[in-house]
Copies of this chain bind each other. A is one copy, B any other.
Amino acid sequence: MSNVPELLRVGTGFALSAVDPAGTPGLPEKKTVRKDPKTWAREQLVDLGAQLATQQEMLFATAKADPKDKRRLLLVLQAMDCGGKDGTVKKVAGTMNPQGLHIVGFGPPTATELRHDFLWRIHRALPKPGLVGVFNRSHYEDVLVVRVRKLAPKRVWLSRYPQINDFEQELADAGVTLVKVMLHISFEEQQRRLLERLRDPTKFWKYSPADVDNRAYWPAYQEAYHDALAHCSTDLAPWYVVPADRKWYRDWAVAHLMLHAFKGMNLQYPPANFDPQRERQRIEEGVSQT
Contact = CB atoms under 8 A, between A and B. Distances in A.
Give the bracket for the number of chain A residues in contact with chain B: 35 or more
Contact of A219 (B218, B271, B289): B289
A89 to B, nearest CB: 5
A105 interface: yes
A90 B101 CA distance: 11
Interface in A237-290: 269-272, 274, 276, 279-280, 282-284, 286-290
A126 interface: no
Main SS of chain A's interface residues? Answer: helix
Contacts of A224: none
Contact of A205 (B202, B269, B279): B269
Contact of A289 (B98, B134, B207, B218): B218
Nearest to A278: B209
Interface stretch (A8-16, A149-157, A166-174, A190-198): A190-198
A51 interface: no
A61 interface: yes
Contact of A99 (B86, B212, B286): B86
A103 interface: yes
Nearest to A271: B204
A123 interface: no
B99 A103 contact: yes
A97 interface: yes
A38 interface: no
A287 B215 contact: yes
Interface of A: 61, 64-65, 86, 89-90, 93-94, 96-99, 101, 103, 105, 134, 136, 187, 191, 194-195, 198, 201-202, 204-207, 209, 212, 215-216, 218-219, 269-272, 274, 276, 279-280, 282-284, 286-290
7 tightest Cβ-Cβ pairs between the two chains A and B: A61-B205, A204-B272, A187-B289, A98-B98, A198-B276, A202-B269, A89-B99
